């Protein structure tokens, strides 16, 4: 699942969400590992399709320590509708620390988003993420000094909720505000995104259906693209 700060606290898209972190609860052995693989009908990140509204393949590997420290790597296929001139893969590397105080979970992490082959587009960027979770509610804040495509400072406060329903269903939702310093460089105005997902485990696979949207009009989205439009997303994943 994609690391985002919230989803590092819930880590991680839908993804995330999408999504880690590993808790500080003591385990034996002290170091644990996990992996995941996902097939999704559309890779949507903060309300915007990263795969030109096409299928994406994703996977990740996480390592956690009983102290609360964790690190991981996550990758997804991407398509920026540019003839693959700026690469076809997103690679995220992250590390952080999570701890619990009474019933509140606190998390702080550093994330590096890498786009091999992006060339002069310079899509690579870094974020700092902090989050606080209590019961079914999580609050998070992500900050980048120079966001995707050299769009300057970026702030992303977000709220996420998750609740277990009867019949083994889990419902989750999130909303976040994207504050972008250089809007023209990025391609959109500042905007709000939100999503709601329902998931269920079947035969060892996690099946998810979700709805995502933004408050951007088509004309405000990368010169009139439909990448910010509302959409229904289906995914199936497996954790190991």
Let me know if residue 132 belongs to a domain: yes
Let me know if residue 119 belongs to a domain: yes
Are the C-beta atoms of 49 and 221 separated by less than 8 Å?
Answer: no
Confidence check: pLDDT of 126 > 70:
yes
For the residues 72-93, what does the mean pLDDT come to? 88
Let me know if residue 1 belongs to a domain: no
Range of the domain at 184: 6-232
Confidence check: pLDDT of 28 > 80:
no
Give 127's strand partners: 111
Best CA proximity match to 227, nearest among 213, 237, 240: 213
Let me know if residue 238 belongs to a domain: no
Question: What is the rounded CA–CA span in Å between residue 22 and residue 174?
Answer: 20
Q: How many H-runs (helices) and E-runs (strands) does the chain carry?
A: 2, 14
Which band of pLDDT confidence, cut at 50, 70 and 90, is reported for residue 127?
Answer: very high
Q: Say which residues have a Cβ less than 8 Å from residue 71's Cβ, sequence separation at least 6.
A: 62, 63, 94, 95, 96
Let me know if residue 164 belongs to a domain: yes
Let me know if residue 141 belongs to a domain: yes
DSSP 8-state symbol, 122: -
Which band of pLDDT confidence, cut at 50, 70 and 90, is reported for residue 21?
Answer: very low
CATH of the domain at 212: 2.40.160.40
- Reported in sequence order, the residue ranges of 103-184 that DSSP labels E, i.e. its strands, are 104-114, 125-134, 137-144, 154-164, 169-180
For the residues 48-57, what does the mean pLDDT come to? 96
Q: Say which residues have a Cβ less than 8 Å from residue 14's Cβ, sequence separation at least 6.
A: 2, 40, 43, 44, 45, 195, 197, 208, 210, 212, 233, 235
- Output the pLDDT for position 160: 98
3-12, 61-70, 191-200, 217-226: least confidently modelled range:
3-12
Which band of pLDDT confidence, cut at 50, 70 and 90, is reported for residue 1?
Answer: low
Confidence check: pLDDT of 73 > 80:
yes
Which band of pLDDT confidence, cut at 50, 70 and 90, is reported for residue 4?
Answer: low
For the residues 106-130, what does the mean pLDDT come to? 92
Confidence check: pLDDT of 12 > 50:
no
Are the C-beta atoms of 140 and 160 separated by less than 8 Å?
Answer: yes
Q: How high does pLDDT run on average in the chain?
A: 89
- Output the pLDDT for position 7: 46
Let me know if residue 129 belongs to a domain: yes
- Output the pLDDT for position 121: 74
Number of domains in the chain: 1
Confidence check: pLDDT of 3 > 70:
no
Let me know if residue 193 belongs to a domain: yes
Are the C-beta atoms of 45 and 52 separated by less than 8 Å?
Answer: no
Confidence check: pLDDT of 18 > 50:
no
- Output the pLDDT for position 24: 40
- Output the pLDDT for position 123: 92
Highest mean pLDDT among 6-10, 117-121, 196-200, 221-225: 196-200
Phi, psi of 137 (to 5 degrees): -115, 140
> Percent of the chain, pLDDT > 70?
87
For the residues 159-169, what does the mean pLDDT come to? 95
């Amino acid at each position: 699942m994609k690391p985002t700060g919230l989803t590092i606290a819930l880590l991680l898209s839908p993804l995330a969400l999408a999504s880690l972190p590993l808790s500080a609860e003591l385990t034996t052995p002290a170091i644990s590992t996990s992996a995941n693989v996902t097939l999704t009908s559309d890779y949507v990140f903060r309300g915007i399709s990263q795969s030109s509204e096409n299928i994406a393949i994703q996977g990740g590997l996480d390592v956690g320590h009983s102290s609360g420290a964790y690190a991981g790597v996550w990758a997804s296929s991407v398509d920026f509708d540019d003839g693959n001139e700026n690469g076809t893969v997103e690679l995220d590397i992250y590390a952080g620390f999570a701890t619990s105080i009474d019933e509140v979970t606190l998390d702080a992490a550093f994330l590096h988003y890498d786009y091999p082959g992006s060339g002069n587009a310079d899509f690579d960027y870094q974020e700092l993420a902090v989050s606080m979770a209590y019961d079914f509610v999580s609050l998070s804040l992500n900050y980048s000094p120079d966001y995707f495509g050299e769009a300057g400072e970026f702030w992303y406060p977000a709220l996420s909720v998750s609740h277990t329903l009867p019949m083994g269903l889990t419902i989750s939702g999130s909303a976040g505000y994207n504050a972008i310093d250089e809007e023209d460089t990025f391609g959109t105005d500042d905007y709000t995104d939100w999503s709601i997902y329902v998931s269920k485990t079947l035969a060892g696979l996690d099946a998810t259906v979700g709805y995502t949207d933004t408050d951007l009009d088509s004309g405000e989205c990368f010169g009139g693209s439909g990448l910010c439009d509302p959409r229904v997303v289906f995914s199936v994943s497996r954790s190991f």
